[in-house]
């Protein structure tokens, strides 16, 4: 007789048996498996899974051993020491209680989950530790998504209920002096690592608390690294370096998630070490650890009484009294636009900023609109100010396959016949769409920029050197660069197919 092989029970099944006999008082409902609870529970208030009940029981027993206030004080005083002591206490509890009959790996996993709730962000910790994940999105307790290489995936992790999501949000905003409740149902902030956070709760969020975390790299990309990842053609690297060193005022434009902050950081690496930089942001995202002389300023929202707000406009005005060589505004989106433009034309050339726009031409119209937020000036006066202030617009886009790249570089060439003149230096000409959904096309070099005169005057290059660079780009550069870009896109195209978010098979821990 042939004996039928039986699969070894999964960790979820083993936890089910343990939790079934160790269900704490006051918690009702069938044990079920973690997998079935994920599907069967209603979206707003799902039944606690067996693993969740076991975590809750172990945490309650820990709090019998050490008060919650002592745990919080220990974590705040020394995180590493707190982790070691809490692991020791949790292991003693597991060894002393007969209801925890589970294997060593399952115990370690359970301890890790409890520690994540006590010291970190619970189910999101593994996603935030994964360096390939760039954004994490929580749409209620059961639906967690993340972005990798510009594409969305559905994660296997989930929260137990709305209350656990709210607890994570509170843990993020508590050190910032912010609050979130029915009177203030949305909040912005950032994690200690610099990741940007937005949270919305009911009644504004109809399907449970929503949390979005945009991650930022500890080390910023260089222009060369961006070229290696096909974000820009290699022939643009010297052009952009000459623009920064010639103290051109540069605006980086693009839609949401097109890589504007990343690109602005890459440009900042070119700024000479002997210059004093003032950065101004609504929420600090720029990284300037590489530069020795930087003052970082961050706007402040109003307090609980509705007073004490310090706006970006206030900071731009104040920065003029701080002897800056360059002013970098992380994102201009309001009435601070006028002060920024005036700073660019009053001795603070070489400044950088970003703004949302769909085309370089739209950059001009959006700046006009933003200037008019704070004052009503004649249209011609505003456009003249923009033409005098801006030198270069670098426009980025997020392509259909998830690739972020430079799409167009334009030079602001003055004000004539009632409008700001733009001269296109180079652009990406799309010719079709590849089988993996990525655009196909080539780079076109339109004409040399006028600031090349400043490049020669500052001794950054000779006239002959600029001419040789231009000849090489026109004859060989775009074709070779496009081949390299297609190769890089083909390598990245091995990720999941473009389109609907997919269930992630394995989330790095």
Q: How far apart are CA 151 and CA 499, in angstroms?
A: 8
pLDDT tens, position by position, 132-145: 898 999 999 889 99
Question: What φ, ψ does residue 205 adopt, rounded to 5°?
Answer: -90, 110
Cα separation values, 201 from 197, 198, 232, 352, Å: 13, 10, 39, 35
CA atoms within 13 A on the CB side of 282: 14
Q: How far apart are CA 282 and CA 53, in angstroms?
A: 41
Domain map (residue ranges) of the chain:
15-22+31-119, 124-215, 223-492
Helix (H, G, I), strand (E, B) or coil at 310: strand
| pLDDT higher than 60, residue 479 | no
Contact 168, 187 (CB under 8 A): no
Helices assigned H by DSSP within 321-378: 336-344, 360-374
Provide CB contacts within 8 A for 98, sequence distance 6+: none
How many residues are given for the chain?
509
Confidence (pLDDT) at 101: 66
Mean of the pLDDT values across residues 477-501? 40
Confidence (pLDDT) at 225: 93
Single out the residue of 246, 247, 454 nearest to residue 347, CA to CA.
247
SS3 track for 123-147:
HHHHHHHCCCEEEEEEECCCCEEEE
Confidence (pLDDT) at 10: 45
**What is the bridge-based pairing of β-strands 277-281 and 502-503?**
unpaired
Mean of the pLDDT values across residues 177-196? 84
State the pLDDT confidence band at 91, using cuts at 50, 70 and 90: confident
Q: How far apart are CA 276 and CA 322, in angstroms?
A: 9
pLDDT tens, position by position, 259-284: 899 999 999 999 999 999 999 998 78
Contact 58, 89 (CB under 8 A): no
Find the range with the poorest average confidence among 37-41, 241-245, 303-307. 37-41
Provide CB contacts within 8 A for 265, sequence distance 6+: 220, 221, 286, 287
Provide CB contacts within 8 A for 107, sequence distance 6+: 91, 94, 100
Percent residues over pLDDT 90 in the chain: 39
pLDDT tens, position by position, 11-58: 444 444 444 443 333 333 333 333 333 333 334 444 455 666 777 777
Cα separation values, 343 from 306, 329, 393, Å: 30, 11, 17
Mean of the pLDDT values across residues 381-397? 95
Mean of the pLDDT values across residues 87-95? 82
Q: How far apart are CA 117 and CA 59, in angstroms?
A: 9
Decide which of 10 and 406 is more confident: 406
State the pLDDT confidence band at 99, using cuts at 50, 70 and 90: low
pTM of the model: 0.73
Decide which of 438 and 178 is more confident: 178
Contact 255, 359 (CB under 8 A): no
pLDDT tens, position by position, 405-436: 999 999 999 999 889 999 999 999 888 777 76
State the pLDDT confidence band at 504, using cuts at 50, 70 and 90: low
Confidence (pLDDT) at 266: 93
Provide CB contacts within 8 A for 376, sequence distance 6+: none
**In this structure, CATH architecture of domain 223-492:** 3-Layer(aba) Sandwich (3.40)
Confidence (pLDDT) at 495: 36
Contact 145, 501 (CB under 8 A): yes
| pLDDT higher than 90, residue 248 | yes
Q: How far apart are CA 131 and CA 207, in angstroms?
A: 29
Whether omega before 334 lies within 30 degrees of 0, making that bond cis, reads no
Contact 235, 468 (CB under 8 A): no
Confidence (pLDDT) at 49: 57
Contact 343, 327 (CB under 8 A): yes
CB atoms within 10 A of CB 145: 18
**In this structure, CATH architecture of domain 124-215:** 2-Layer Sandwich (3.30)
What single DSSP character describes residue 330? S
Confidence (pLDDT) at 164: 83
CA atoms within 13 A on the CB side of 58: 33
pLDDT tens, position by position, 204-239: 999 899 999 998 877 788 999 999 988 899 999 999
Q: Is 181 exposed, middle or buried (0-12, 13-18, 19+ CB in 10 A)?
A: exposed
Handedness of CA 203, 206, 208, 211 (dihedral sign): negative
CA R_g for the chain: 27
Average pLDDT value for the chain: 79
Task: List the structure tokens of 468.
Answer: 């040789």
Find the range with the poorest average confidence among 3-7, 358-362, 460-464. 3-7
Task: List the structure tokens of 48.
Answer: 């606690």
Q: How far apart are CA 98 and CA 82, in angstroms?
A: 26
């Amino acid at each position: 007789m042939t004996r039928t092989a039986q699969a070894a029970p999964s960790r979820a099944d083993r936890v089910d048996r343990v939790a079934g006999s160790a269900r704490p008082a006051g918690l009702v409902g069938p044990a079920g498996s973690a997998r079935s609870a994920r599907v069967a529970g209603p979206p707003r208030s799902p039944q606690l899974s067996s693993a969740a009940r076991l975590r809750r029981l172990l945490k309650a027993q820990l709090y019998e051993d050490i008060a919650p206030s002592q745990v919080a004080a220990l974590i705040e005083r020394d995180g590493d020491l707190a982790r070691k002591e809490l692991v020791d206490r949790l292991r003693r509890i597991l060894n002393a209680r007969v209801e925890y009959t589970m294997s060593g790996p399952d115990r370690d996993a359970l301890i890790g989950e409890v520690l994540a709730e006590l010291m970190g962000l619970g189910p999101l910790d593994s996603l935030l530790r994964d360096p390939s994940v760039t954004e994490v999105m929580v749409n209620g307790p059961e639906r967690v998504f993340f972005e990798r290489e510009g594409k969305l995936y559905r994660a296997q992790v989930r929260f137990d209920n709305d209350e656990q999501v709210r607890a994570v949000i509170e843990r993020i905003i508590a050190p910032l002096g912010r609050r979130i409740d029915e009177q203030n149902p949305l909040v912005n902030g950032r994690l200690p690592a610099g990741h940007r956070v937005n949270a919305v709760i009911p009644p504004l969020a109809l399907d449970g608390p929503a949390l979005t975390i945009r991650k930022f790299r500890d080390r910023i990309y260089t222009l060369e690294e961006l070229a290696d990842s096909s974000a820009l053609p290699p022939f643009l690297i010297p052009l952009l370096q000459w623009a920064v060193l010639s103290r051109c005022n540069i605006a980086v434009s693009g839609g949401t998630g097109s890589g504007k902050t990343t690109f602005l950081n890459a440009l900042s690496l070119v700024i000479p070490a002997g210059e004093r930089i003032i950065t101004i942001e609504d929420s600090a995202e720029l990284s300037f650890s590489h530069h020795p002389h930087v003052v970082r300023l961050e706007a402040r929202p109003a307090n609980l009484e509705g007073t004490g707000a310090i706006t970006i406009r206030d900071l731009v005005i104040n920065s003029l009294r701080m002897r800056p060589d360059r002013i970098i505004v992380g994102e201009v989106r309001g009435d601070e636009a006028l002060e920024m433009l005036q700073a660019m034309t009053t001795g603070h050339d070489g400044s950088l900023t970003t703004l949302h726009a769909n085309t370089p031409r739209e950059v001009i119209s959006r700046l006009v609109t933003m200037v008019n937020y704070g004052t009503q000036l004649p249209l011609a006066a505003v456009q003249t100010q923009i033409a005098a202030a801006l030198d270069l617009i670098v426009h980025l886009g997020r392509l259909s396959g998830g690739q972020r790249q430079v799409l167009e570089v334009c030079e602001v060439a003055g004000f004539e016949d009632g409008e700001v003149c733009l001269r296109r230096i180079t652009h990406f000409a799309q010719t079709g769409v590849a089988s993996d959904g990525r655009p196909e096309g080539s780079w076109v070099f339109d004409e040399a920029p006028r600031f090349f005169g400043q490049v020669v005057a500052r001794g950054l290059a000779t006239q002959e050197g600029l001419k040789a660079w231009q000849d090489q780009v026109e004859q060989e550069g775009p074709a070779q660069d496009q081949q390299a870009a297609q190769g890089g896109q083909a390598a990245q195209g091995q990720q999941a197919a473009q389109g609907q978010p997919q269930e992630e098979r394995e989330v790095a821990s």
